[in-house]
Amino acid sequence: MASEIFLYWGSGSGPCWRVMLALEEKGLSGYGNKLISFDKTEHKSEEILKLNPRGQVPTFKHGNIVINESMAAIVYLEDTFKGQGTELIPSEPTKKALVLQRTMESNNLAEKTGKLLYYFFRNKDNIDEAVVSPLKADLKDEVLIWEGYLKELGGDSFIAGKDFTLADCCLFPAVAMLVRQGVDLDKSAPNLGKYYKTVKDRPSAQASWPPHFKESPNQDRFKDVM
């Protein structure tokens, strides 16, 4: 039941967004939650550290059960709330294999997006093109891999086929971060651009959209990645 669930989360955090998408898709909206401020280092508060010694979000509780790795939490949600809401992991083996493959594989896009973004955050006005260029090239190659998967699947596909799955919960936050940071997907990766629009319109994505994405305009840090 949603009332037994509690999530500590941060706005724009991809790992948190994965869990929030899965919660909405499983019909668990209305769960208890607390939005933490990274600026005020609330993720290192005693309240969170006693549940999660790494002092990170997501920090997730279901009753007395604590799961803090986003991947583990979403697999747990699908397994615990099977038969409710969207089926995030299909039972047919070929389909299941692809969903699990793409779910774990999406970490590549999340990592490459994160590396470039954190370089910008840490170095602000002191950007070294010799460092940034290879990070951008790596990210571009990675984006094109996902564009290729969608092209191969054909129009109107999610990332592991015709249905929304766990793989979309994991991939979508990284795709949305590309757009947030100024990548013009429609121009550079049109299948991914279409995918972004399709998932963005889902009630689960709208319900969990990062508040600060709504409150401030998109940025241009990644504008020349593609």
Ligand X SMILES: N[C@@H](CCC(=O)N[C@@H](CS)C(=O)NCC(=O)O)C(=O)O
- Mark 177-206 with x for binding to ligand X (rule: CB under 6 A) and - for no binding: ------------------------------
Q: Which is nearer to ligand X, 18 or 26 (CB)?
A: 18
Helices marked H in the chain: 14-25, 46-49, 70-80, 93-123, 129-153, 166-180, 185-188, 190-200, 203-208, 211-215
Residue 43 within binding range of ligand X, rule CB under 6 A = yes
Residue 10 within binding range of ligand X, rule CB under 6 A = yes
Q: Which is nearer to ligand X, 49 or 144 (CB)?
A: 49
Tell which residue, 42, 54, 177, 166, has the closest CA to residue 121. 177
Please work out the total of residues on this chain that contact ligand X, with binding judged by CB under 6 A: 11
Q: Which is nearer to ligand X, 56 or 191 (CB)?
A: 56
Of 42, 69, 111, 163, the one binding ligand X (CB under 6 A) is 69
Of 5, 7, 8, 15, the one binding ligand X (CB under 6 A) is 15
Candidates 56-64, 79-87, 91-99, 118-126 — which segment interacts with ligand X by CB under 6 A? 56-64
Residue 112 within binding range of ligand X, rule CB under 6 A = no
Strand partners, 161: 158
Residue 55 within binding range of ligand X, rule CB under 6 A = yes
Tokens coding 63? 């009753």
Phi, psi for 126 (deg, rounded to 5): -125, 55
Q: Exposure pattern of 49-88 as b/e (b: 16+ CB <10 Å)?
A: eebbeeebbbbbbbeeeebbbbbebbbbbbeebeeebbbb
Least distance in Å: CB of 71 to ligand X? Answer: 6
Tell which residue, 97, 216, 188, 195, has the closest CA to residue 150. 195
Q: Which is nearer to ligand X, 13 or 181 (CB)?
A: 13
Residue 70 within binding range of ligand X, rule CB under 6 A = yes
Residue 42 within binding range of ligand X, rule CB under 6 A = no
Q: Which is nearer to ligand X, 55 or 161 (CB)?
A: 55
Measured in Å, how far apart are the chain's first and last C-alpha atoms?
A: 43
Of 8, 13, 22, 175, the one binding ligand X (CB under 6 A) is 13
| Position 206, amino acid | Q
What count of residues does the chain have? 226
Which residues are at the interface with ligand X (CB under 6 A)? Answer: 10, 13-15, 43, 55-58, 69-70
